[in-house]
Amino acid sequence: MTRTFAFQDYYPDSLAHCYGCGRLNAHGHQIKSYWDGEESVCHFIPEPYHIAVPGYVYGGLLASLIDCHGTGTASAAAYRAEGRGMDTEPPLRFLTASLHMDYLKPTPLGIELEIRARVKEVKGRRVIVEEWLLANGSVTVRGEVVAVQVPEQMLSDLLEGKS
Amino acid sequence: MTRTFAFQDYYPDSLAHCYGCGRLNAHGHQIKSYWDGEESVCHFIPEPYHIAVPGYVYGGLLASLIDCHGTGTASAAAYRAEGRGMDTEPPLRFLTASLHMDYLKPTPLGIELEIRARVKEVKGRRVIVEEWLLANGSVTVRGEVVAVQVPEQMLSDLLEGKS
């Protein structure tokens, strides 16, 4: 059996500490995102304490999932646009410039959520990612992330642990 | 010495479980918001693991702080508009309809952050709250929350634990 690597599995160690998506953050969510055709997908089961009001998921967690799945998708899309694998150099990492969330209806707690994304627009180093979150097959949240590629000097400082 | 109660201290017990602002969520952030003239203010020190890249705070946490400080401020403003204290009945609680975040620059980790908010607009049961987050006196994030008052039936179900 071949293991399928998630976008986040390719992040360099020095950039893998993010609370939302870093595989090296023991306290964090460690989300995993994958391509599914032209869309990307991520599954996540909130903890019982990720509560807003009884029975429903806390919106701040949903913002975190949309945010990190969005920057991960922007990164994967940038590699894809260059026709190279995520295990090739140099690494392409993205930060969030803006995040918009529309909470369409309450998201039930206690089930696996599905977060899906699609690249809406690429403008130079900016990638706009549109997303939606499904609970029991129903879209409860729509989101949009404007992700910006980390500037080269900042990236090289981060990779060398200079920050 | 008189203790000053935060907005969140007045939330009814059955509505005080939110991961961002519920005083009864042992795992959560338990933020505390207060009036400061026409603005409201909240202070928060992120944990070392609330990291994005080394040295900087994770944007999903900042979204959570803006979200919960925004709904708390909407609630406090609604009581103020009715000329009554937050310890009077019936309780007025708000949910987030939409959240917008602009990350202007990286927010340094390891210091106390200040989140400030101002009511921008009230339209019936919808309150728009504009917010900004300061680190070392510099605005690193701007946010906007559209908060909607919880419908009466839903509120009464929640208060009775029916959800």
CA distance B116 to B95: 19
Tell me the average pLDDT across A55-83: 96
Cα distance from N-terminal residue to C-terminal residue, chain A = 40
Rounded to the nearest integer, the mean pLDDT of chain A is: 94
B119 three-state secondary structure: strand
φ, ψ (nearest 5 deg) of residue A127: -125, 125
Residue A40 pLDDT greater than 80, yes or no: yes
Nearest to A67 among B19, B63, B163 (CB): B63
Residue A1 pLDDT greater than 70, yes or no: no
Q: pLDDT value at position B153? A: 85
Tell me the average pLDDT across A76-102: 94
Confidence of residue A75 (pLDDT cuts 50, 70, 90): very high
Tell me the average pLDDT across A51-72: 96
Residue A106 pLDDT greater than 70, yes or no: yes
Share of chain A above pLDDT 70, in %: 97
Chain A residue with CA closest to B24: the answer is A49
Residue B157: list chain A partners with CB under 8 A: none
A35 three-state secondary structure: strand
Residue A25 pLDDT greater than 70, yes or no: yes
Q: Does the predicted model carry a pTM greater than 0.90? A: yes
Q: Which of B19, B49, B56 would best serve as a mutation to test chain A binding (most A beta carbons within 10 A)? A: B19
Q: pLDDT value at position A10? A: 93
Q: pLDDT value at position A51? A: 96
Integer CA distances (angstroms), A121 to A38, A78, B93, B139, in order: 13, 12, 37, 28
Tell me the average pLDDT across A65-94: 94
Chain B residue with CA closest to A67: the answer is B60
Q: What is the DSSP string of A83-148?
A: T--TTSSSP--EEEEEEEEEE-SPPBSSS-EEEEEEEEEEETTEEEEEEEEEETTEEEEEEEEEEE
Residue A42 pLDDT greater than 80, yes or no: yes
Residue B158: list chain A partners with CB under 8 A: 53-54
Residues in chain B where the model's pLDDT stays below 50: none
Q: What pLDDT, in 10s, does the model give residues A116-144?
A: 999 999 988 999 999 999 999 999 999 99
Residue A154 pLDDT greater than 90, yes or no: no
Indicate yes or no: CB of B22 within 8 angstroms of CB of A67.
no
